[in-house]
Structure 1
């Protein structure tokens, strides 16, 4: 739910309860209707936040519930009207929310300035649509961090079995800013009894970064591995279109450090946008160091960040080209990393094989890391079937509005599945994008 959805839901509750300020409005019938309305709205919120139900679908379900609980519904005339409305909504919902991989293809075709697609098959590039343009990676950059982690394990600098205090991780945890990724990882650790005396293994921290996309784990690992080492690793891998890495969480705190009562949000945004990128990075690094030392206590800082400020943060996230991440995927898929590093990175990235046993029927290997913000939706994956055919696939999208983001999320899985498994569809996508 974004800020507009929250305003809408809370607005309904407020307007429902507002009439009860006057005593004469507090009849049993009106109280009953108000209770039903509030319960339905809270049900929508719970369905979206707890059970990850698509917000528009939850909204439609809430509308249907309002009709069913209204006594006036059960007349011939109203039943006919509401039945007609539901049929229309059902047809519209089917046409909009049906599984449609072509929605992603059409978005690519219609938005060349903000999208990239890279596809390679058995070492041959098939599609390089806007793939040399540097775009914000969001959490997709965690692939590179995973590689540096694996290389340091292989070199004996670190051990997978090193222990990490949860308190040390919490210093980098900014609540409600990573889609509940950190909380989900902690729940898994608890359910598998992997938390001993408030510590976990370093490898489990890396799993939290990749499988659950915990930003706290990511910034902890960035600090542990060393930013200079990660940036040097990008160069050694030949990632020539990759911006320098800096902490993800602490960058979200930059507006809080600059903000004061003397400037408006508009002035704050202007100040952020005018800040040189090198200054922006060094500020994020300095804040991250203070978080590690405990001089900045992130748990005391509000995570209420406006969409306009989120946009600045999203636009300034670490960027790279789809070409570069296609190259990185090929290095991993072809086991070109030295020693144990290759197996360690596969272990981290091939979580889709562990979480969906059905993938074992189609693939010998399937590794992936996505990344998203309110305005960005990315994915990078490699696949190998049981006879050795390999595909690397990277899609980067930026500047998304709310509707585009929702529809891309809804249809991305079917697009990726068809692109990976259907040669005819790959040829169709290749043809249509090459004609632009």
Structure 2
């Protein structure tokens, strides 16, 4: 049976001639200036990578933290900041869960679809937002429809809706997010603004203004908004260079945040009871997960609650992927490797050896 990938992660896909207002598509064989694969593990178009071979050949591009919950831990690049794309949204969930647990946010409180979509930049999320609306049964034409904020959070985790992520950050406030990070000793150098980051990619001449400022202009200035919507996605190399510098976090912070959030709610058990159902969207028994992807990179943070109550976890990121390898990697085969390693000590040891971890 083919592995069903659990990667719906707010992608910015390489496209040719696609405006920001048009949905982009993965590269075809005829795309301009394709980056050829140099990996012997690369598969033919439409097939997944041989991930065991690929990881062994590209171990220098991997960041990984493993903890089996029984005393065995190992890592590679745990303290080296890596771009974690949408996997960082675990922090948004942590801040939201703590705010709900403290009575500061009512999960049944609502926003209108119009308020939610104020942050939407069509064609830059791999179809995540439309997919979320479809599952929730929301008519995209009804901008006055009320949506519970908890449904927005669900969309952020399961579909990796960037639009909902930016809305949630504004609703819970930056201090809540910083406080959540501080509970594991993490001091983020930046908080994600996915709308602003996308604008910086589309209009690099404005990048120095900062992602938050660009997002504010988009929300408040109709002329600027129209100009953004007229832009075309840049080429693959430019997208990769942009993504490589975006959202860099030490893998150990992502792993500890995930573990602590599901273990004890970062010190407030009620927060764990809010967060775990959101992270359990894969329907794999005992698994909590969040993944992410931008051009040339894939990341995931998974945890598995075993029958004896122990919690094993893996936080994984790989960068520097060619267009061909990345496109094949979106099949989610790396997630099968993660899942096997969480379940089976022999698979975990095989993974450790493949990436050269200690």
Give the TM bin, normalised by the shorter chain.
Answer: 0.7 to 0.9
Which has more radius of gyration?
A: 1
1:182 is aligned to: 129
1:349 is aligned to: 279
Shift in alpha-carbon separation, 1:292–1:150, aligned structure 2, 3 A: farther
Between Structure 1 and Structure 2, which shows a larger proportion of helix residues?
Answer: 1
Provide the rounded CA distance (Å) in 2 between the counterparts of 1:435 and 1:351: 29
Matched, 1:290 2:290: no
Matched, 1:414 2:324: no
Q: Deviations over 1:327-373 (max 9, x none)?
A: 112202322430421111112111112xxxxx3xxx3x211110001
Shift in alpha-carbon separation, 1:431–1:239, aligned structure 2, 3 A: same
Shift in alpha-carbon separation, 1:206–1:93, aligned structure 2, 3 A: closer
Matched, 1:250 2:196: yes
- Which ranges in structure 1 are unaligned for 5 or more consecutive residues? 8-47, 57-91, 260-267, 273-279, 354-358
Q: Deviations over 1:137-185 (max 9, x none)?
A: 1000111011001111112111101110111111110001111000001
Shift in alpha-carbon separation, 1:140–1:188, aligned structure 2, 3 A: same
Q: Secondary structure at the match of 1:124?
A: coil
1:428 CA displacement: 2.1
Matched, 1:110 2:57: yes
2:15 is aligned to: 3
Matched, 1:167 2:179: no
Contact 2:261/2:275 (CA < 8 Å) preserved in 1? yes
- Which ranges in structure 2 are unaligned for 5 or more consecutive residues? 1-12, 19-23, 30-40
1:402 CA displacement: 1.1
Superposed, 1:349-428 pairs within 5 Å as 349-353=279-283, 359=284, 363=285, 365-410=286-331, 411-428=333-350
Q: Secondary structure at the match of 1:367?
A: strand
1:115 CA displacement: 1.4
Count of residue pairs the alignment pairs up: 327
Structure 1 length normalisation: TM-score? Answer: 0.66
Superposed, 1:168-317 pairs within 5 Å as 168-190=115-137, 197-239=144-186, 242-254=188-200, 259=205, 280=208, 283-293=210-220, 295=222, 296-297=224-225, 301-302=229-230, 304-306=232-234, 307-317=236-246
1:414 CA displacement: 2.5
2:6 is aligned to: none
Superposed, 1:13-162 pairs within 5 Å as 103-122=50-69, 124-162=71-109
Q: Secondary structure at the match of 2:103?
A: coil
1:110 CA displacement: 2.8
1:328 is aligned to: 257
1:387 CA displacement: 2.8
Provide the rounded CA distance (Å) in 2 between the counterparts of 1:426 and 1:141: 24
Contact 1:175/1:303 (CA < 8 Å) preserved in 2? no
